[in-house]
Structure 1
Amino acid sequence: MKAQVSHPGEKRTFVFSVIEKAPVVSEEVANVFRTLASNDVQLFPVSVEGESERYFVVNAIKVIDCIDDARCREVHHYAEEDPFLEDAGEYRWIYGLRIAPSKTEGAHVLRPKKFKTAFIVSEEVKNALEGVGNLGVSFERVTAPDGGNDEQRACSPLRDS
């Protein structure tokens, strides 16, 4: 696979691609996923135009029905009359995403069913990623603060300031 840089700027170790919000990561970040979430992801090598370092596309292979609608701040679904009929019943957008840790099946990395733009990682993976540094993502808690070992975080692209 080959990728082009769509938004030039500071080189980061973890970014989301424009297409399908696929994570593109450095080799060091890929090693975090290999070590802590080998059963939850696939890593595909990708050459990035103008870069000599190795990069990888991360595919979260676990898609789990774990969204806790009642605890989300605001939920919008695609309606039957929406022009994209294949999306009917799926989530159009969620503000204040919350998931039920009891439904994550112990996954360290997952995408929620019917809202696959969200990329969820365990607290352990989050901490290891932050140890790598220079990430182009931030983390938002999606479980209760007292989630203990089941705490999960959604990765979001960093916003330009």
Structure 2
Amino acid sequence: MPMRYFDLADDVYLPKRWELGHPLGANGHPLEDPWQFRVGARAQLTDRIQLPVKTSGTPLDFSHAAFSIPVVHVRVASLLAEMAPHDVDIIPAGIQGQPDQFCILNATRLVQCIDDKASGEVRYWRPEDGRPEKTGQYRAVYQMRIDPSKVGDAKIFRTWGWTIALIVSEEIKKALERIEATGTKFKQV
């Protein structure tokens, strides 16, 4: 049976949940490049990161800060670092008013595996869109499906060309369910 993979997302419909804001550097200013956590590569950081709480509520084991940056409780970070050490950077991050430790989960693998034909709809940037630097790249991917034969040994990764998606193996999904990690939502891809 082929390996199954899932898009791991923040369950934004949980009631009374917190919402995290724009990551800040040690100087209290917004990070210059918050997108670096969404490109499937190691982050280039020199400062400890602070995450403000934008909306107070129940802290979650998995949630997104601004820019869809994955933030995990240290128990989730430890589990993922143990199960997929070559796939993630675990970056400590302080959260205002939180005694527990949290981390940014940075997927460091980028895998070219989107199955355009099996996906619901795939759109590409075209010359007439007026963004020549993006021509030929994904503009939108709906009901994404991947080709598992192209994933190799990756257990946590971003999809090449559509790095919005954070993909985990079924093994990772089951481990997160086993520890009852809050805030997670999975959709098979």
| TM-score category, normalised to shorter length | 0.7 to 0.9
Match of 1:78 in 2: 125
Q: Which aligned runs of 4 or more in structure 1 are off by greater than 6 angstroms?
A: none
Q: Would the aligned equivalents of 1:28 and 1:132 in 2 still touch at CA under 8 Å?
A: no
Higher relative contact order structure (alpha carbons within 8 Å, sequence separation ≥ 6): 2
Aligned equivalents of 2:102, 2:75: Cα separation in 1: 9
Match of 1:14 in 2: 62
Q: Which has the larger radius of gyration?
A: 2
Match of 1:23 in 2: 70
Q: SS where residue 152 of structure 2 aligns?
A: coil
TM-score of the pair, normalised by structure 2: 0.70
Larger deviation, residues 127-136 vs 65-74:
127-136
CA deviation string 1:23-81 (max 9, x = no partner) = 10000110111111111111100001111111111111110110000000111222234
Q: SS where residue 117 of structure 1 aligns?
A: strand
Corresponding letter in the other structure for 2:93: V
Corresponding letter in the other structure for 2:104: V
CA deviation string 1:105-144 (max 9, x = no partner) = 11000100000000000001011111222422210011xx
Gaps of 5+ in 1: 143-161
Gaps of 5+ in 2: 1-48
Aligned equivalents of 2:130, 2:92: Cα separation in 1: 35
Q: SS where residue 53 of structure 2 aligns?
A: coil
Aligned equivalents of 1:82, 1:137: Cα separation in 2: 35
Q: SS where residue 163 of structure 2 aligns?
A: coil
Aligned pair count?
141
Q: SS where residue 89 of structure 1 aligns?
A: coil
Q: Would the aligned equivalents of 2:51 and 2:65 in 1 still touch at CA under 8 Å?
A: no
Compared CA separation, residues 17 and 80, structure 1 to 2 (3 A)? farther
* Cα root mean square deviation, aligned: 1.5
TM-score of the pair, normalised by structure 1: 0.81
Pairing of 1:9-158 with structure 2 (within 5 A): 9-19=57-67, 21-142=68-189
Aligned equivalents of 2:137, 2:182: Cα separation in 1: 29
Corresponding letter in the other structure for 1:128: A
Corresponding letter in the other structure for 2:116: D
Compared CA separation, residues 49 and 86, structure 1 to 2 (3 A)? farther
